[in-house]
Each structure stands twice: as structure tokens, then as C-alpha cells.
A and B are shown apart, each in its own frame.
Chain A
Amino acid sequence: SQQGEEDPQALSIQEGENATMNCSYKTSINNLQWYRQNSGRGLVHLILIRSNEREKHSGRLRVTLDTSKKSSSLLITASRAADTASYFCATASGSARQLTFGSGTQLTVLP
């Protein structure tokens, strides 16, 4: 079952602007991961943040995690048209290494 909710469901911005997506989840986690999916394609792993971490950077990506609020955010800076895709958060909990995916955010970056 889906654990997380993401907002916004859809986000449309101009190239060069920053895009922020939020993810909330319900249970305690080991880590939270962000994935990107281009239309009709598989998922590409972007970044993993562990439950004892608060912030992580990778290139133009910045992820934060607030375990007290059970939420995470993904910031894409200086967006490009090629960043247009769906972005999903996914949580891993307990001893199982399964992922539970959020509902996703459809990002459109206009050139």
C-alpha cells in the first residue's frame, strides 16, 4: 500500500527557477529515497537519505529529512527543461528492503 503523499501533485515552472517537492510518510523509516521517472520509462535513483541524516546534496539536488514531522523535501535548483519528469519519494522501513512509494509529483519545466 502507498505510504506517502507528495505535494504538489503537479508543478510547472520556468527554466532556471528552483523546484521544491515535498513528501510525507506515516511510519518510522530506515531511509528515504527519491526517484525520477520520465514518461513511460523506468525509474532512475536520484538520492538516498538515511534516518539519522537531515540534509544531503548531489549536484543540483538538495534533500532534507525531518523525522519528527515524517517529511522530506527535494529541491532542484536552476531547473532545466530536461528535468521535466515525475518525481517519487520512497521509504524503506524495518528489516524488509522493500520500498513504499509516494504518490509522485509531475514536474514540468518550461523552456
Chain B
Amino acid sequence: GAVVSQHPSRVICKSGTSVKIECRSLDFQATTMFWYRQFPKQSLMLMATSNEGSKATYEQGVEKDKFLINHASLTLSTLTVTSAHPEDSSFYICSALRDKGETQYFGPGTRLLVL
């Protein structure tokens, strides 16, 4: 099977600090990764599409300067929440797609709490 990991699984930070979340495809190369945000009891909302070696594509309403995405290799994408505020507290989930694949493989998620 295809395994995707995320690190950290939980993070608590103070308002104004930056937090980096890593998403790794462990046993396959992922040319495309996706970042989602999920609020309690709600569905997943796509934040951005991360393509290896190029700039991420952000969904409408998602600030690219606040949510920095770097897809530096075929197995790693990072999401940095800059100057985090309490309203950024959420569950962040990444997924990875094989080249020409249709199925997205999801990481276990990162719960962010900003105090």
C-alpha cells in the first residue's frame, strides 16, 4: 500500500509564531501533494495543490503568504503557517498522488492549536 506520514501529529503554539508541518510519501514518489484543512465536524476543504519543483496553486480565499508551501522533493511537501493566530487552529491533512494516479493517499493529519 501507499503510506503517507505527517509530522508533527499535534502542535500547540503561541499566537504570532510560525509552525511547519511535513508531509512525506514513504514508499512512492508523489509529483503532486494536496493540503486540506478540516474544522470540527466539517468536511475537508482544499487549501492548495503542491507540485514538485514548482509553485503551489492556492484555492480562492487561502493566503499564500500566510500558508507557505514547499514541495522540494518527490517525497516531501511542507506547509508553514506563518504568524499563526487562534483562528488558524484546525486539523491539517495532506494527501499525495502518484504520477498519473487517481487515488489520493492521506496522511494522518496534524492538529494545530494556537493559543
Contact = CB atoms under 8 A, between A and B. Distances in A.
A103 B93 contact: no
B105 interface: yes
B34 interface: yes
B93 A99 contact: no
Q: How large is the interface on A (under 10, 10 to 19, 20 to 34, 35 or more residues)?
A: 20 to 34
A82 B85 CA distance: 36
Nearest to A104: B43
B109 A101 contact: no
Interface of B is mostly: strand
Contacts of B28: none
Contacts of B105: 45
A2 B103 contact: no
B106 A99 contact: no
B108 A42 contact: yes
Given A88-B43, A104-B43, A44 B106 contact: yes
Nearest to A88: B43
B43 A101 contact: yes
Interface of B: 4, 6, 32, 34, 42-46, 49, 60, 91, 93, 95, 97, 101-109, 111
17 contacts: A1-B60, A30-B102, A40-B111, A41-B108, A42-B4, A42-B6, A42-B109, A43-B93, A43-B106, A45-B104, A48-B103, A88-B43, A92-B102, A96-B49, A97-B32, A98-B34, A100-B46
Closest 8 CB pairs of A and B: A43-B106, A42-B108, A42-B106, A101-B43, A101-B44, A42-B109, A104-B43, A103-B43
